[in-house]
Each structure stands twice: as C-alpha cells, then as structure tokens.
Structure 1
Amino acid sequence: MSSLIKIFSRKLFTLMSIAGVAALMSSTVSAIGQSPEDITARVAPIGNVCISGEECEVSSAATVAANDGPRSGEAIYNQFCTACHSVGVAGAPKFGNAGDWAPRVAKGFDSMMTNAINGINAMPPLGTCTTCSDDEIKGAIEYMVDNSQ
C-alpha cells in the first residue's frame, strides 16, 4: 500500500509541476499578443533627465502644471493623495474619518501644512505631488479636512 501512495504522490507532484509551468507560460504568452506600440508604451521611461545649461526636448511636468493653472484640492486629492488617505496606509488619516483627522486638526492648520510640505513618518514631502504648489497642497488639506468632519 505504501508503494502505491509513493507512486500517486510522484504523479501528483508531476502534474502540479506541469500545471505551474503552464500557468507561468500563459502569463508570458499573454504579452506576445500585444502590439509593438502597446509594448513600447508599457516599457517607456517615466521621465527624462535634463542637464542644467542644455535645452530639454520635453517640457517638465511642473511647466505643464503651471500652464494649466492651479488645480483644485479635490483634483490633487484624487490624483496624489487617495492612494494612501483612502485606506489609511502606514497610519495616514483616512478621508472621511473624523476620528483620524481630529488630533491633526487640533494641532492646527500650520502643523498639517508643514507636515504635508516636508513629509512626516511614511509620507514623502508633498505627498508624491512634486509639481504641487503650496496653494495646491493647502487646497488638498482643506478638501480632506472639510470632508472628514
């Protein structure tokens, strides 16, 4: 009986190994069906480096943002803040949760503004919005606080 179990175990292991390889292959094959344009877009660099004194071929995101005018607090929240503040990543106060925001509001708006600009704990400076002006950061904080009372 024990030899029968060993044979069954080997066959099961072989089948599971084959299934694992097949799953790996299917995820690789799915990329094969993409057009060259899709692949180029997927692997395109996320930015360019410009050297001081040399002309850059691509305008910076800051210039583009400046040309569009100031963005609303809601727009900044939706684009840059929601990833952490919607679920409370690393202790971030959750949007809409008055209990999370109350201690921060108690410290005053200037404290929240300083923390948002300089970063605090796991939050990076400007909360990942490197193109945000101080006024846009202020608007995002006001939007989050106003909707978390």
Structure 2
Amino acid sequence: MSKHLIKRSALVASVLLSGVVASSALAADIKAGKAVYDKACFACHKSGVMGAPKVGSKDDWSPRAAQGRETLLDHALNGLNSMPARGGNPSLSDDDITNAVAYMLDSAGLELPAAGGKAAKPAETKAEAPKPAAAPAPAPAPVAKAPAQKPKIQFNRLMKGRDEWNPPPAEDGIHDPDNEGTYMLQPPREGMAGFASGISGNRVDWVQTLDSGAIAPRYDRTDPNKKPFVMDLNIVREVKGSMPDVVYPHKQHTEWLDCSNCHPDIFIPKKGANQISMAAILLGQKCGVCHGKVAFPVTECKRCHSKKKKATAFKE
C-alpha cells in the first residue's frame, strides 16, 4: 500500500471518528437534559401550562428556535412572561438549562442553534438540472367528503367538561400563578393517573383506590408505622317515605380518620341523640362537615341511601 493511500485512509478514519465523538457528546447532552426536564421542566412543558411550548411539539418550538441560540437560552435562564428564571429552580446551572432546552428541541425534531446562528433546518437537496415535463397525470376520481361531525352536546353547560377536570395548579384558581413555586407542583392528572374513577369532585373513587392498594396514606403524621384502628360496623338510619335507608359504614371512614374527628363534637355516640336532616347537611352540619367539601357531595344520593326498604303487601 502506498504512503499516499495510507495517509488518505487515516484522514478518512479521523473524520469519521470525530463525527462519532461529536454525535456521542450531543447524545450525552440530550440525555442529561432529559434528567433536568424530568426534574424541573415537565410540570409546564408537558401539558403546555400558561402557553409553555409542549415537549415534542414542532409547531411550538420552531418559532422559538428561529430566534437563535442566545435569545432562546436568555429566556430560559432569565425568564420571560410566565416562564420563571431557570424553570423556577435557581440551583440549576447554565449547562443544566442548556441541556434541557436541547432535549426539548430534540424531542420536537430540532437542534439547538449554534452560537450566533438560527435553528438548524432540514437538509435541502441540491438543485438538479430541469427534466423534461412529464405528461400530465389523469385527474383523480372525486373523493366523497366525510360528513361533518355534529357538535358535542353537553347536558349542562354550567358543568365542566372532561378536559377541564383537575387542571394544573397554575390554572386551578387556588394556587398563585405568579408564584414560581406553583409550577414545581405535580399536576393532579399525573399524580392521580391509574386511580379508580369517580363521578364527582376530582373524579377519583378514593375508597376503591385505597382498597386496591394504589395508595397507602400515612395514618399518623410523625409515625409512619402506626396503623389505623379500623372499626367494621355499619349504622343504619331508617328514613321515612320511599327513599332507601341510610347506611353509615364505619370501616371506610376509620380507614382515613380517627374516631375523635367525628365524636363527640359532630356526632354524639348515643342512639337517638343525633337529629340529622338533609337541610342540616346542606348547611354544612353533621355529614355536611365533610361531604360536599372534602368528600363526595350529597348529590350522590345512592352512596348513602343504599339499603332498600322491604316491600310491604297492599291490604284492602
């Protein structure tokens, strides 16, 4: 083999090796950026809170990347509009933020622009010599248009639709959207994913979720090993008229609460000592201390009025 050929082969190998090294370095940055994203950025950029560009959305990231590297990183480091500086986490370094931005751009099929440059664009094919025009293709057969979809009819326009349930903290009307810490809270939809579904409140059936083992709430704030005193006893309250009788299950309540939460301030533990009515409950008394506030509302009648009355024979 000639010396010229050996030098040429070495040069090609060097170029190929440098490309592999550069590619590995970029992959490492993106991998590190994903770790930063999972730690500090997902709360806003996964669901697009307050207009944040969604991870994986090319439409969201393309116009931002077109502003150039310096502008893009300046907004991430120093904040812009609802975007807090460094994602609300001042402990993140400049490299952490750069890697996180690179990861989110990569998820959208884009690259972090080079210093002083704009966003990388897809490679363009070289111009070719014009070819003679081909014969025009026959016109395609007309395609029947799909029938227009009817608008969804909501039973009660005042009720929130499914997409509005459990909004992110910054949009729930409870947390302060101007507080940087709000964006570090986990969105409820992520935290409650996989829980048994309910038909009211936050749309979770907490009793079924607890029974399934999906959650294991701590019974004592300071002692994680303390077990609840569960009382498996049902109290039946007879109701006048045709409405089914009320069944109060101690088991489901004592799995969450200590007896002192209800006795004796709310319910006197003595037969016949408690006058309970729907009016009192709706005014926030008796069962209404919790139900309709932190437990399912009284509109779910069958969950309490669950014992059917015995049928009585009609006498002439």
Q: TM-score scaled to structure 2, two decimals? A: 0.25
Report the alpha carbon displacement of residue 72 of structure 1 after superposing the two structures with TM: 1.5
Match 1:125 to one of 67, 85, 93: 85
1:113 corresponding residue in structure 2: 73
Report the alpha carbon displacement of residue 130 of structure 1 after superposing the two structures with TM: 1.2
Identical residues among aligned pairs (%): 44
User: What is the count of residue pairs matched by the alignment?
Assistant: 79
Q: What amino acid sits opposite 1:97 in the alignment?
A: S
Residues of 1 paired with 2:89 and 2:102: CA distance? 16
TM-superposition CA deviations, 1:26-62 (whole Å, max 9, x none): xxxxxxxxxxxxxxxxxxxxxxxxxxxxxxxxxxxxx
Q: Which runs of 4+ in 1 moved over 3 A?
A: none
Q: What amino acid sits opposite 2:77 in the alignment?
A: I
Q: What amino acid sits opposite 2:59 in the alignment?
A: G
Residues of 1 paired with 2:69 and 2:102: CA distance? 9
Structure with bigger RCO (C-alpha 8 Å, 6+ apart): 1
| Aligned-pair Cα RMSD in Å | 1.2
Report the alpha carbon displacement of residue 118 of structure 1 after superposing the two structures with TM: 0.6
Match 1:101 to one of 43, 61, 72: 61
Report the alpha carbon displacement of residue 112 of structure 1 after superposing the two structures with TM: 1.0
1:92 corresponding residue in structure 2: 52
Residues of 2 paired with 1:132 and 1:72: CA distance? 12
> Which structure has the highest helix share of the two?
1
Residues of 2 paired with 1:145 and 1:111: CA distance? 14
Q: What amino acid sits opposite 2:40 in the alignment?
A: F
Give the unaligned 5+ runs of structure 1. Answer: 1-70
Give the unaligned 5+ runs of structure 2. Answer: 1-30, 110-316
Paired residue secondary structure (1:72): helix
2:33 corresponding residue in structure 1: 73
Residues of 1 paired with 2:39 and 2:72: CA distance? 19
Residues of 2 paired with 1:97 and 1:109: CA distance? 18
2:294 corresponding residue in structure 1: none
Q: TM-score scaled to structure 1, two decimals? A: 0.51
Report the alpha carbon displacement of residue 120 of structure 1 after superposing the two structures with TM: 0.5
Residues of 2 paired with 1:128 and 1:79: CA distance? 11
In the alignment, does 2:96 pair up with 1:144? no
Paired residue secondary structure (1:95): coil
Paired residue secondary structure (2:66): helix
Report the alpha carbon displacement of residue 129 of structure 1 after superposing the two structures with TM: 1.9
Residues of 1 paired with 2:82 and 2:71: CA distance? 16
Report the alpha carbon displacement of residue 110 of structure 1 after superposing the two structures with TM: 1.3
